[in-house]
């Protein structure tokens, strides 16, 4: 990757050496130019041979990798998908280009080309210009190859990121800046996918998520259980793969706690009848946890709920509502009415953004906790997460900053860690990188993998623990 781009200079150097050798031959033998024709043929043959070898090497670089990713466990080895191998090759190409480009200035700086220049026929400047052009094209095409591989295969890149990178990809020099980010995203996804695949091999047939009772997933505020966009991302599929029976609450996006509780109760009855069982395990995210607690204590469905696991639920309310409540009531109601009209088109029968959002305030949650205490028949547990800095999740940077100003230093952008604690608090999820884990990351909203945190594996362990506890 350091010397291969300089094929034009190398060929001219070899040709120069050949000419010097031929001239010395003429001087020593004293013969005429009768040997010029055979020597010229050898010169052309050598040039063609070098170009053929060069072409083969370049093609091999563009077709990388040569070795395919293999995952192994207990003596069993399997090859990962073609998509991951293509992405691995793209990342390797970018890394090679990085070191190759980094070495080029040093080659010119230490003037390594000055030694053979007197062998080159023609203007030194013209030769060096053509050499530089070949070098540029060599790395430019490889960078495009590696970048396109990652853009086409890396699932964790959003649509707008792909579009942005694709636009800058064709601009020389400028396209070098996003290479580090692309390579980083590819590495994180590769590590996560390989680890996940090895877990599949390890758990082959183990059914570690085959709980005694079905799993009922309850979404948070502002979303619905849509068919083509799963609120829970890749999580349900992995739970089912490991033996879980999964259902969705189908409550409304902007329904009040009381209204959503009624909707969930009807869905719970359907699940019980379909599975011929008497209880379910509920896993709820955000406001879904409050909906579930009302279902259990307010509607008397505790005899049909074995466990309630809440993820980032504002049991003590969200500090953001203290700011929103300072808005003029007319403005608040007007904005809420716009949400109601929009979500009515997505299936909400009784959207009530005004009251549903107000129910997340600390004052309301305090009254709610007193009015609906936990049932001794149900096992309660909770989890939380937080973002390490304001720009950790750009989508929630402003709410995160506001909550920090209000004293909630550890928050996921919408809910603080203390507010998410309820029942038996298990742990706080956080990545090993600088980003942290946001409110949306806990449901795999962006379908991204983060360093030191696998959201899919986290839910597998949660459900596996429920199975071990007899639920």
Q: Which residues contact 6 (CB under 8 A, 6 or more apart)?
A: 131, 134, 135
Above 60 in pLDDT, residue 241? yes
Above 60 in pLDDT, residue 207? yes
Above 90 in pLDDT, residue 375? yes
Report the alpha-carbon distance of residue 278 to residue 182 in Å, rounded.
49
**More confident: 458 or 113:** 458
Lowest mean pLDDT across 14-28, 54-68, 426-440? 14-28
pLDDT digits (tens, 9 = 90+) for 107-128: 766 654 454 544 444 455 666 6
Mean of pLDDT over the chain:
83
Above 60 in pLDDT, residue 426? yes
The residue with tokens 């050798």 is: 21
In percent, the amount of the chain with pLDDT more than 70 equals 83
Six-digit token pair at 68?
């395919």
Report the alpha-carbon distance of residue 319 to residue 305 in Å, rounded.
30
Report the alpha-carbon distance of residue 368 to residue 297 in Å, rounded.
11
How many C-beta atoms lie closer than 10 Å to residue 83's C-beta? 14
pLDDT digits (tens, 9 = 90+) for 248-262: 999 999 999 999 999
Task: Please give the pLDDT value at position 63.
Answer: 80
Helix, strand, or coil (residue 311): strand
Helix, strand, or coil (residue 65): coil
Lowest mean pLDDT across 5-9, 146-150, 255-259, 280-284? 5-9
Lowest mean pLDDT across 111-115, 297-301, 460-464? 111-115
In which band, very low, low, confident or very high, does the pLDDT at 409 lie, cut at 50, 70 and 90? confident
In which band, very low, low, confident or very high, does the pLDDT at 184 lie, cut at 50, 70 and 90? confident
pLDDT digits (tens, 9 = 90+) for 40-68: 445 566 667 767 777 787 787 788 766 66
pLDDT digits (tens, 9 = 90+) for 67-110: 666 656 555 666 777 888 888 888 888 888 888 888 887 776 66
Task: Please give the pLDDT value at position 451.
Answer: 83
Above 70 in pLDDT, residue 283? yes
Beta bridge partner(s), residue 335: none
Mean pLDDT of 147-161: 83
Lowest mean pLDDT across 223-227, 269-273, 461-465? 223-227
């Amino acid at each position: 990757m350091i010397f291969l781009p300089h094929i034009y200079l190398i060929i001219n150097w070899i040709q120069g050496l050949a000419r010097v050798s031929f001239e010395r031959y003429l001087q020593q033998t004293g013969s005429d130019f009768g040997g010029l024709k055979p020597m010229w043929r050898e010169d052309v043959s050598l040039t063609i041979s070098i170009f053929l070898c060069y072409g083969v090497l370049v093609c091999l670089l563009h077709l990388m990798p040569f070795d395919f990713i293999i995952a192994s466990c207990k003596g069993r080895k399997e090859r990962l998908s073609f998509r991951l191998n293509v992405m691995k090759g793209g990342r390797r190409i970018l890394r090679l280009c990085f070191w190759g480009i980094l070495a080029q200035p040093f080659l010119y700086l230490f003037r390594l080309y000055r030694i053979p220049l007197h062998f080159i026929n023609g203007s030194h400047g013209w030769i060096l210009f053509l050499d530089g052009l070949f070098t540029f094209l060599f790395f430019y095409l490889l960078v495009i190859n590696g970048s396109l591989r990652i853009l086409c295969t890396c699932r964790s890149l959003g649509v707008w990121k792909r579009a942005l990178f694709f636009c800058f990809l064709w601009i020389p020099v400028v396209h070098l800046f996003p290479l580090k980010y692309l390579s980083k995203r590819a590495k994180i996804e590769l590590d996560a996918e390989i680890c996940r695949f090895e877990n599949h091999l390890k758990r082959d047939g183990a059914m570690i998520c085959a709980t005694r009772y079905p799993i009922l997933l309850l979404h948070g505020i502002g979303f619905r259980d849509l068919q083509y966009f799963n609120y829970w991302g890749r999580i349900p599929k992995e739970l089912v793969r490991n033996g879980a029976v999964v259902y969705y609450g189908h409550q409304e996006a902007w329904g009040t706690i009381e209204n959503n509780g009624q909707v969930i109760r009807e869905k719970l009855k359907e699940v019980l009848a379909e599975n011929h069982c008497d209880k379910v395990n509920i896993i709820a995210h955000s406001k879904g946890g409050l909906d579930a607690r009302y279902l259990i204590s307010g509607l008397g469905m505790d005899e049909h709920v074995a466990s309630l696991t809440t993820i980032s639920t504002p049991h003590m309310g969200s500090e953001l509502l203290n700011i929103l409540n300072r808005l003029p009531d007319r403005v608040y109601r007007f904005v809420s009415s716009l949400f109601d009209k929009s979500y009515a088109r997505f299936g909400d029968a009784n959207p009530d953004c005004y009251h549903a959002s107000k129910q997340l305030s600390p004052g309301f949650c305090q009254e709610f906790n007193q009015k609906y205490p936990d049932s001794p028949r149900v096992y309660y547990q909770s989890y939380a997460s937080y973002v390490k800095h304001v720009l950790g999740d750009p989508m929630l940077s402003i709410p995160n900053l506001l909550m920090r100003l209000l004293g909630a230093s550890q928050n996921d952008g919408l809910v603080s860690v203390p507010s998410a604690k309820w029942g038996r608090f298990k742990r706080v999820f956080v990545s090993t990188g600088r980003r942290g884990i946001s409110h949306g990351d806990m449901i795999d909203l962006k379908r991204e993998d983060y360093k030191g945190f696998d959201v899919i594996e986290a839910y597998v362990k949660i459900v596996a623990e429920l199975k071990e506890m007899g639920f």
